[in-house]
Structure 1
Amino acid sequence: MQEMKAEIATKNSKKANLLDHNSLKHILDESVSEIVTSRGYAEDVRMSNARLFIGTIIIVIALFAQFYKKKFPGNRDFLIANECNHVCLILDSGKYIVFNVILQLVSYTKEKNAIMFTYPPPGSVTSTGLVVSSKLPRFSDLYTLSIVSADPKSISAGRPVEFTKSVTQWFTKDGVLVEGLFWKDVGALIDDYAAVPKKKK
């Protein structure tokens, strides 16, 4: 089996450290994004942009608190000194904390394990894009890939589909991703999503 995988692998193949969980997941997730976009699904980056915008606000608040011109105690409305005499970059008004909480809520409620969000393919009868998510638990070789509708309440939303397979099916013993095998499995999952009956009103 390993010999057959090695033959299929190309010169420019992606290589992962088989002992590094994050390396494996990163390569697989990156490949999934390529496969989905190759099927005509344009990536919807609005969620990423929203996270970047909130993150920028947090950084600006922290910088303002750090470099506020007044010295203590004149700046006590902006800074709180901790017991180690380090300055905590937390606004007294709670804006820093509030925006951090918002960022975490967006990640927890909207993104979860999402790799990417998409628009529907051009010319498609469906009006919803996809949310493509993955999981690779630590100390496990089982990679779960799922596809759901970006708007589950839509009449054109398909039923969620997923597969769970061992990463050993897609990597050679040297850590090279056999893209042909992986593309086949992911492509089949996308086809399954497109083929399932749509929801009824």
Structure 2
Amino acid sequence: MEAKKGEIASNKNPKKANLLDHHSIKHILDESVTEIVKSMGYPEDVRLSNIRLLIGTIIIIIALFAQFYNKKFPENRNFLIRCIILYPSSSTYIVFNGILQLIIYIKEKKAILFTYPPTGSFHTTGLVITSKLPRFSDKYTLIIASADPESISAKPPVEFTKSVTQWFTKEGVLVEGLFWKDVEDLIKKYAEETKKSK
């Protein structure tokens, strides 16, 4: 695993964040977490992303239909009003937009990654990786939980909260080795919890 880490680190340019922008810091950390988890044998589960893309595409098609109706604004006013109130296309637009928001609110929440179980694993559930970096705070929280909390193989979530100053230089370069070790240790902790409880 150490050799693999070295290969990954040497093949890339250093990741640099704007230390004054918490979105930039969180983006780099989240992106690194995704790489680490996938390199540890957890394939990414993109089903939810694909559903969101499909619903988003339908919403855009409906909006384009209303936008590019063959008459200009004052003349198409009645058509637009009917679209909003009566026509199935507008109710479809509202329904699909509502479904999209529901998926984001209920299922996705603050998750940065959904995975399948590792290949050859006896577990039937993958992981949900969630992160938090509150505004005006240096405390980054990473949470690893089961993708299916109702499953028999689902275990209690594990997490850590650490200051981002431990992983970045003064120039904003991510010290990947340190961050990699912390994330890897958390994944191992989750796996150990699984073994202990069996």
Q: Same fold (TM over 0.5)?
A: yes
Match 1:172 to one of 169, 172, 176: 169
**Separation of aligned partners in 2, 1:162 and 1:73:** 54
Q: Are 1:182 and 2:141 matched, yes or no? A: no
CA RMSD, 1 decimal = 2.3
Q: Runs of 4+ in structure 1 displaced over 3 angstroms?
A: 90-93, 197-201
Q: Are 1:141 and 2:142 matched, yes or no? A: no
Structure 1 match to 2:157: 160
SS at match of 2:144: strand
Residues 58 and 199 (structure 1 numbering): CA distance in 2 closer, same or farther, change over 3 Å? Answer: farther
Residues 94 and 184 (structure 1 numbering): CA distance in 2 closer, same or farther, change over 3 Å? Answer: same
Residues 199 and 47 (structure 1 numbering): CA distance in 2 closer, same or farther, change over 3 Å? Answer: farther
Aligned residues: percent identity? 71
Count of residue correspondences = 184
User: Is the contact made by 1:65 and 1:79 (CA closer than 8 Å) also made in structure 2?
Assistant: no
**Paired residue type of 1:47:** L
Q: Which runs of 5+ in 1 are unaligned?
A: 1-8, 81-89
Structure 2 match to 1:78: 83
- Show CA shifts across 1:138-172 (max 9, x none): 11110000010011111111220000000000000
TM-score normalised over the length of structure 1:
0.84
Residues 189 and 37 (structure 1 numbering): CA distance in 2 closer, same or farther, change over 3 Å? Answer: same
User: Is the contact made by 1:55 and 1:103 (CA closer than 8 Å) also made in structure 2?
Assistant: yes
Which structure: greater helix fraction? Answer: 2
User: Is the contact made by 1:35 and 1:187 (CA closer than 8 Å) also made in structure 2?
Assistant: yes
**Separation of aligned partners in 1, 2:78 and 2:13:** 60
TM-score normalised over the length of structure 2:
0.85
> What is the 5 A alignment of 1:94-173?
94-173=91-170
